[in-house]
């Protein structure tokens, strides 16, 4: 942990964040975490006085999109500054040190804050070819991750790649990429923050919660904090009334699209995607995909690339029938084929019967007329598999066909 | 289902209805639980498939203006039908172990020699290698084996359905099913399975309907009516213990 050697308030002011902005940020965090308004003060006090945990930010197989997400250009928000002030000891993209110096910083931070530092992991971890697909300073991502996670107070996997494998792990997964939880099993406190990229508000809220209460927020079966992933996009969506009402965008740019109808039929994955985008939105709450007429592509879900594509279709196709094959058409054809097969079978049977009947007639003409229904002797031998029907004499032809 | 509830009650009207010869005698094969669960599954599955397709790609007329709850109702109907479906499937599976012999699990798995022999015979009939199927009273053994697979698909439908439902089951005991989500590869994975298996079941339903029709015609045993009345018609004095 770091000593509080500077005045947090002065530091904020020096970076252009007023006290008012800071307080409203804290109130925002409290609301985001689902805490009562009174908690804003607690959050602010914790931010100002509590020791900040050392943070090491590891980047593996990724596009640095999550880093981008919290370094968002123009004017840094309170959230970003606060993240910055969290004494990030190691972060390849933004740290000044390079080469051996940088690796030294990582090693000494892990040593100095053993058991108390927080690891943020961005990107998936390749395990194929002994981890050769991603190495830093001659060591594989897997080695680095294992070492860093071993004595961490908590590991936060940011972005879908770190949380679920993401793009690198998409079929055919050439590097055998794994999520942090799969690559480094047995992490005591793991928090997954999937999304492509992670929303910086959620990351700072997790850290603010920890600072305020000294423990980590409650998580679900995917280790995602409930405050951010407890509800689906669909259940908080501003277009939901149109979904329930059956009013849909049929094509981009049509009347329904202009009227702001539900994007379900152009592939919206909101019903199967859990995240708080409708509430906190993106780019300082400016807007979010569905708000500007684009369906949710399900970026925060497991198997994102394999399951959610094609993005403008409801479902992925059936393997072997092309990527975007229309399941419903295949299903309909298959169902019709089964029906046709049986109709054909019935027709063949009928034809056969007619044939047998004609044959029987020829032979019956010479024999004595057989009694039809009542006393067919064949009926008395039920175990015989190919008993003829009761309503006609047993034609010799039928016997002959037994295999 | 005006049939008497107990096997020995042989009434002539029933026999007449089937235009059977005096050599045939009715035999009670499907008990009330079997018939009730069968028809509950049929009806609820029709409703589930219809509403399910509309959930997947809404085709019912989209009303204009306000105050509509179109897809909302379709989903709610889907959920109520799902309750009926799940309970019927669950009851039928329990009945396989609790119910009378002919409703039991031995009817489905060809554990006995005899049923194994009949299994091959029935298969030969289906592919037209022999003109008549072997004589069976309960399920024909090939169908029995198919039903095992179908019940597996029913369970898959129920589990993926529960998993999907759990996603938005805030504050409900149904939330407990969310542990299934990782198993199915997330909600979208569950939805994909749920959707594809629906088509497998619809394909089966068509197959099942036609083969019941076919077998009833060929065997002339009243098989088609038996699932309403419970009775099939077999030659007098024939061996009834066909499931051993
Ligand atoms: C044979 C029985 C069933 C059939 C044929 C069926 C069919 C379907 C279909 C086609 C869909 C749309 C999937 C998609 O979005 O592509 C669906 C959705 C769904 N089904 Fe079923 N279903 C069945 C049983 C069940 C059961 C037992 C449940 C249990 C609760 C269930 C719950 C759901 C849920 C929660 C959805 C998602 C609804 C939504 O996203 O709005 N289904 N079903
Ligand atoms: S736009 Fe997407 S998330 Fe919003 S109501 Fe429609 S389907 Fe749901
Ligand atoms: S709306 Fe959907 S695709 Fe967009 S960021 Fe949110 S979860 Fe990802």
Domain residue spans of chain B? 31-60+69-231
Do the Cβ atoms of B185 and A307 come within 8 Å? yes
**Cβ within 8 Å of residue A258, ≥6 positions away:** none
Q: Could you tell me which chain B residue has the CA closest to the CA of A256?
A: B64
Q: Where does the pLDDT of residue A373 fall: very low under 50, low under 70, confident under 90, or very high at 90 and above?
A: very low
Please choose from A270, A273, A304 the residue to mutate so as to test ligand 3's pocket, defined by most ligand atoms within 8 A of CB: A273
Return the percentage of chain B with pLDDT > 70, whole number.
80
Contacts of A384 in chain B (CB under 8 A): 135
Q: Rounded to 5 degrees, what are φ and ψ at B125?
A: -65, -45
Residues A105-164 have pLDDT tens digits of 888 888 888 888 999 999 999 998 888 899 988 899 999 999 999 999 999 999 999 999
Q: How high is the mean pLDDT of chain A?
A: 82
Mutate to test the interface with B, among A237, A311, A328, A331 (most CBs of B within 10 A): A331
Do the Cβ atoms of B206 and A339 come within 8 Å? yes
Pick A209 or B10 by higher pLDDT.
A209
Look at residue A198 and tell me whether its pLDDT is greater than 70.
Answer: yes
What number is the average pLDDT over the span A195-215? 89
What number is the average pLDDT over the span B14-32? 63
Contacts of B131 in chain A (CB under 8 A): 352, 386, 398, 401-402
Residue-level pLDDT at B40 = 95
Helix-, strand-, coil-residue percentages of chain B, each rounded to 5 = 65, 5, 30
- Report pTM: 0.80
What number is the average pLDDT over the span B216-227? 72
Residues B155-199 have pLDDT tens digits of 999 999 999 999 998 888 999 999 999 999 999 999 999 999 999
Query: A19: closest CA among A11, A233, B95?
Result: A11
> Cβ(A35) to ligand 3 under 6 A?
no
Residues linked to residue A17 through DSSP beta bridges, in sequence order: none
Lowest mean pLDDT among A190-199, A260-269, A316-325: A316-325
Residue-level pLDDT at A311 = 93
Under 8 Å CB pairs connecting chains A and B tally to 184
Superfamily of domain B31-60+69-231: Transmembrane di-heme cytochromes, Chain C (1.20.950.20)
Q: What's the maximum distance between 2 C-alpha atoms anywhere in chain B? A: 69
ipTM exceeds 0.85: no
Q: Which of A69-78, A215-224, B17-26, B131-140 has the largest mean confidence? A: A215-224
Helix-, strand-, coil-residue percentages of chain A, each rounded to 5 = 45, 10, 45
Query: Ligand 1 centroid vs B80 CA: distance in angstroms?
Result: 11
Rounded to whole angstroms, the Cα distance separating A255 from B2 reads 55
Residue-level pLDDT at B52 = 96
Q: Are A237 and A231 in contact (CB under 8 A)?
A: no
Rounded to whole angstroms, the Cα distance separating A285 from B63 reads 33
Q: How far is B119 from chain A (nearest CA, A)?
A: 12
Q: Are A256 and A247 in contact (CB under 8 A)?
A: yes
Look at residue A37 and tell me whether its pLDDT is greater than 90.
Answer: no
Q: Which of A236-240, A346-350, B118-122 has the largest mean confidence? A: A236-240
Structural domains in chain A plus CATH codes: 52-227 (3.40.50.700), 231-353 (4.10.480.10)
Q: Where does the pLDDT of residue B11 fall: very low under 50, low under 70, confident under 90, or very high at 90 and above?
A: very low
Query: Ligand 1 centroid vs A104 CA: distance in angstroms?
Result: 55
């Amino acid at each position: 942990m770091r000593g509080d050697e500077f005045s947090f308030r002065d530091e904020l002011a020096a970076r252009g964040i007023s006290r008012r902005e800071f307080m409203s940020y804290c109130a925002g965090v409290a609301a985001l975490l689902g805490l009562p308004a009174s908690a804003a003060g607690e959050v602010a006090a914790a931010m100002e006085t509590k020791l900040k945990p050392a943070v090491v930010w590891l980047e593996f197989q990724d596009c640095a999109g999550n880093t981008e997400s919290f370094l968002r250009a123009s004017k840094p928000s309170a959230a970003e500054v606060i993240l910055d002030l969290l004494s990030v000891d190691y972060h390849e993209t933004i740290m000044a040190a390079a080469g051996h110096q940088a690796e030294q910083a990582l090693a000494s931070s892990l040593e100095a804050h053993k058991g108390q530092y927080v690891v943020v992991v961005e990107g998936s971890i390749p395990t194929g070819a002994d981890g050769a697909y991603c190495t830093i300073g001659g060591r594989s991502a897997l080695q680095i991750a294992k070492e860093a996670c071993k004595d961490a107070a908590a590991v936060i996997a940011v972005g879908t790649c770190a949380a679920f494998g993401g793009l690198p792990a998409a079929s055919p997964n050439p590097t055998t990429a794994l999520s942090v939880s799969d690559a480094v099993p047995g992490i005591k406190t793991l928090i997954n923050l999937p999304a492509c990229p992670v929303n910086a508000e959620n990351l700072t809220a997790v850290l603010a919660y920890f600072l305020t209460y000294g423990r980590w927020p409650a998580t679900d079966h995917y280790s995602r904090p409930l405050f951010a992933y407890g509800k689906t996009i669909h259940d908080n969506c501003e277009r939901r009334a149109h979904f329930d009402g059956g009013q849909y965008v049929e094509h981009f740019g049509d009347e329904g699209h202009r009227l702001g109808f539900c994007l379900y039929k152009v592939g919206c994955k909101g019903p199967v995607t859990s995240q708080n985008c409708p509430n906190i939105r993106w780019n300082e709450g400016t807007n979010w995909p569905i708000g500007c007429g684009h369906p949710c592509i399900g970026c925060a879900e497991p198997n994102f690339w394999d399951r959610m594509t094609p993005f403008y279709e409801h479902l992925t196709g059936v393997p072997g029938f092309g990527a975007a094959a229309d399941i419903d058409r295949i299903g309909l054809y298959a169902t019709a084929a089964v029906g046709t097969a049986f109709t054909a079978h019935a027709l063949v049977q009928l034809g056969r019967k007619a044939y047998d009947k004609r044959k029987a007639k020829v032979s019956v003409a010479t024999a004595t007329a057989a009694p039809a229904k009542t006393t067919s002797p064949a009926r008395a031998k039920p175990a015989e598999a190919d008993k003829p029907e009761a309503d006609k004499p047993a034609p010799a032809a039928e016997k002959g066909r037994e295999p | 289902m005006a049939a008497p509830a107990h096997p020995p009650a042989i009434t002539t009207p029933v026999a007449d209805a089937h235009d059977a010869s005096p050599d045939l005698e009715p035999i009670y094969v499907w008990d009330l639980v079997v018939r009730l669960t069968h028809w509950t599954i049929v009806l609820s599955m029709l409703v589930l498939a219809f509403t399910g397709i509309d959930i997947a790609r809404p085709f019912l007329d989209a009303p204009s203006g306000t105050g509509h709850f179109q897809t909302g109702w379709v989903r709610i109907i889907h959920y109520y039908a799902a309750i009926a479906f799940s309970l019927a499937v669950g009851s039928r599976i329990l009945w396989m172990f609790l119910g009378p012999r002919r409703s039991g699990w031995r009817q489905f798995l060809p554990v006995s020699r005899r049923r194994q022999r009949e299994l091959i015979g029935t298969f030969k009939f289906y592919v037209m290698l022999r003109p008549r199927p072997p004589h069976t009273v309960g399920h024909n053994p090939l169908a029995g084996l198919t039903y095992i697979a179908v019940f597996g698909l029913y369970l898959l439908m129920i589990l993926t359905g529960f998993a999907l439902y759990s996603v938005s089951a805030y504050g409900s005991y149904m939330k407990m099913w969310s542990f299934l989500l990782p198993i199915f590869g997330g909600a979208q994975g569950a939805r994909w399975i749920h959707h594809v298996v629906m088509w497998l079941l619809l394909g089966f339903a068509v197959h099942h309907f036609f083969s019941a029709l076919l077998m009833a015609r060929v065997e002339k045993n009243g098989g088609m009516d038996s699932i309403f009345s419970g009775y099939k018609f077999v030659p007098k004095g024939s061996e009834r213990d066909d499931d051993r």
